[in-house]
Structure 1
Amino acid sequence: MTDCQTFKLVFIGDSGVGKTSLVERTVRNCFNENTDYTIGAAFHKYILKTDDNISVTFNIWDTAGQERYRSLGPIYYRGANAAILVYDITSNDSFDNIAFWFRNLKSVLPSDIVTALVGNKSDLEHRRDVDYKEAKRFANKYGLIFMETSAKTALNIDILLKTLAKELIKRKNNNVCVNDKDIQLLTSKQNKLNIRKKCC
């Protein structure tokens, strides 16, 4: 095993659940209450050090959740090593739609891809609409990593990324099939549509 690993990670879920805010908190350590909706997908790179002092580079694709862009999702999923399925704890509809996003993901990627279920906006506990235990049961049923996070307060985001990195490295070392290919997904014309949000 080398001391530097690179993995492709996709963020998936309904529009407005906070995928972009989670990515911005991860990459730039900032939060913007008025983040623009993602068009198509946006690419970011993030490097972290694991507790074992291994450098891990995540090539992150923040995918759009609006219905008109859903058909593009599988294009961006291809070649991913890991996925984060995001719902909003204040929106039961966003949690109900996780089953759709999960099926969509599995239609493209191997069954053994490292996947996390994330309930975002935990800072809005007073407006909770999704029961923690229900979400946990869904995650356990499908063998998903499960956490609740807050892009606003940064709760559990570092732990989430380190947990994903640890699992990816373990599987790679055990020769579990993990797709390392990073496919060029966008033409130069499409790339102009990508939104790189700036909040700091």
Structure 2
Amino acid sequence: MSNSNPSQTLTFKLVLLGDGRVGKTSLVLRYVNNVFSEKQEATVQASYLTKRLVIEGVPINLSIWDTAGQERFHALGPIYYRDADAALLVYDITDNDTFVRVRNWVKELQQMSPKTIVMAIAANKSDLVRSKKFDLQEAEGYAASIGARIVVTSAKLGTGIDEVFLDIATRALQNKKSSAPGFSQTPPRKGMLTVDDEPEREPQPKCCS
């Protein structure tokens, strides 16, 4: 086993982008603090939370920037994502217009951010789809074309959220390994993912309904 520097903590900056009201803040609060509110206030400019993880023995601080989705704050976007390691693009699975906006955000990211940026797409509010048969064909094809992963999420039910954030952090770590020759951790293998959850609030038991 490799133990190059187990005490070295990596920090990755993750920015959330998407239209207003698609549930970006709710996703972050569910992920970091395991809380959900039906009456979540709209984000003004941006808010910032951190999450500590351990992936393949590497301690990671995920610095999560939750940006405002309202059009009047759009010009502020580049301030937050210019030096981001990763971006989570969120849309409302019941509102195709918000998916169109995701495409626009991606175009901006590709122009303004580092070429190595990790991208993932969250198809949020899946709890509002009665049939549970999600039409993701277009979204999956688009995600593949930009090298992103798409995950169906629900901040209300807490589904898909750990999965999408872990995917982002794992790929950001792989980017770091490939770009830093001295970073000689063991190569990632499936089944080696460990999580050290340290929410800001008291940990609550995680159970499935």
Letter in 1 for 2:37: N
CA distance in 2, matches of 1:77, 1:16: 20
Q: Is the 8 A contact 1:42 1:63 kept in 2?
A: yes
Letter in 2 for 1:79: D
Root-mean-square deviation (Å): 1.8
CA distance in 2, matches of 1:92, 1:74: 24
CA distance in 2, matches of 1:6, 1:42: 17
2:64 — aligned with what? 60
**Does 2:171 align with 1:167?**
yes
CA distance in 2, matches of 1:123, 1:145: 20
**Does 2:15 align with 1:10?**
yes
Letter in 2 for 1:16: R
TM-score, normalised relative to structure 2: 0.79
Letter in 2 for 1:58: L
Q: 1:98 aligns with which of 102, 119, 132?
A: 102
**Does 2:131 align with 1:112?**
no
CA distance in 2, matches of 1:42, 1:129: 33
Q: Secondary structure at the residue paired with 1:58?
A: strand
CA distance in 2, matches of 1:59, 1:42: 11
CA distance in 2, matches of 1:40, 1:127: 35
- Where do 5+ consecutive residues of structure 1 fail to align? 177-200
Letter in 2 for 1:101: W
TM-score, normalised relative to structure 1: 0.82
Q: Secondary structure at the residue paired with 2:51?
A: strand
Q: CA deviation at 1:114?
A: 0.4
Letter in 1 for 2:60: V
**Does 2:102 align with 1:136?**
no
Q: Secondary structure at the residue paired with 2:159?
A: coil
| Correspondences of 1:81-92 after superposition (within 5 Å) | 81-92=85-96
Q: Report percent identity of matched pairs.
A: 42
TM-superposition CA deviations, 1:28-47 (whole Å, max 9, x none): 11100100001111111111
Larger Rg: 2
Q: 1:76 aligns with which of 80, 88, 91?
A: 80
TM-superposition CA deviations, 1:65-99 (whole Å, max 9, x none): 10000011111112110000000001011011111
Q: Secondary structure at the residue paired with 1:116?
A: strand
1:151 — aligned with what? 155
- Where do 5+ consecutive residues of structure 2 fail to align? 181-209
Q: 2:53 aligns with which of 45, 48, 51?
A: 48
